[in-house]
Amino acid sequence: MPSLNRALGMYLQLARAAGLRGQGGIRDKLLVLAGVTAVEIDQPDVAAECRLRIVDHNPQHLVRRWSTFAEALDDEEFLAYLKQQIRRYSAERVEHLLEQLGIDPFTPGEFAVGDEGFAQLLQDLDEAQPGDDDVEILSGQHLLGSSGGALWSGRRPYLPPRRYNRLQPYSTVWLVVLLGIIACAIYIALALSG
């Protein structure tokens, strides 16, 4: 498992990639994880910046209820939300997604704790225009679909809602029963006529 410093850096990197790709909801989820990780490693300024960016993008986001992530971590509702996001975007999964997008995952050796490394990653979130290094990020697939599945490059096939397919497993049984009834009717008709 990556260190918390490295996890924070990777969450910020992937949040930037999601923002460049126009996936604001995913960006906000990653910023929540980054903010909580920042609280865990005693980086309250980074946590506050993450919260501010989330609320600026989505004023109705769950984190608006608390003034800091530290306060939010005391609430059961936030902890349930956090558990879902950790399950979907574990540090190992984020590292894998970064590698798939061609981004070198953040290494804590690049910045000492207390340096401006995380501040630089936060500033990178605000870039309005992607740079030349970001072409591969923009040309790849979606980070994660709404189902939380793997990267997806094509259209998903249409599957009708499950409620319309309830009889499908029994179609063979119904066919056998129907053929049995027909066979019995033919047998009785032949017996009566002969």
Whether residues 56 and 12 share a domain: the answer is yes
pLDDT tops 80 at residue 129: no
Distance CA 1, CA 189 (A): 75
Residue type, 79: L
Locus of tokens 């006529």: 193
Radius of gyration of the chain (CA): 26
Is 152 part of any domain? Answer: no
Indicate whether 79 and 113 sit together in one domain. Answer: yes
Task: Give the residue among 38, 35, 15 at the shortest CA–CA distance from 25.
Answer: 15
Tokens of 91: 């540090």
pLDDT band at 116 (very low <50, low <70, confident <90, very high): low
Q: Clarify whether residues 110 and 186 are in a common domain.
A: no
Average pLDDT for 19-31: 89
pLDDT of residue 76: 92
Note whether 170 and 101 are same-domain residues: no
Backbone angles phi, psi at 171, to 5 degrees: -60, -35
Look at 189 and 108; give whichever has higher pLDDT. Answer: 189
Is 150 a domain residue? no
More confident residue, 58 or 118: 58
- In Å, how far are 12, 111, 151 from 100, measured between CA atoms? 16, 23, 9
Give the integer Cα–Cα distance in Å for 160 and 154.
18
**Domain count across the chain:** 2
Residue 31, domain member (yes or no):
yes
What pTM was computed for the model?
Answer: 0.65
Q: For position 186, what pLDDT does the model report?
A: 94
135 and 168 fall within a common domain = no
CA gap 157, 155 in Å, rounded: 6
Query: Do the domain assignments include residue 134?
Result: yes
| Boundaries of domain holding 168 | 163-193
Identify the top-confidence range among 83-97, 105-119, 120-134.
83-97
Does any domain span residue 157? no
Q: Is the pLDDT of residue 74 over 90?
A: yes
Q: Give SS3 for 21.
A: coil
Q: Please indicate, yes or no, whether residues 129 and 182 belong to a single structural domain of this protein.
A: no
* 152, HSE (Cβ side, Cα atoms, 13 Å): 11
Residue 39 phi/psi, 5° resolution? -65, -40
Q: Is residue 33 part of a domain?
A: yes
- Considering the domain boundaries, does residue 71 fall inside one? yes
CA distances from residue 151 to 73, 88, 147, 177 in whole angstroms, order as listed: 30, 13, 11, 44
Q: What is the mean pLDDT of the chain?
A: 77
- Tell me the three state secondary structure of residue 129: coil
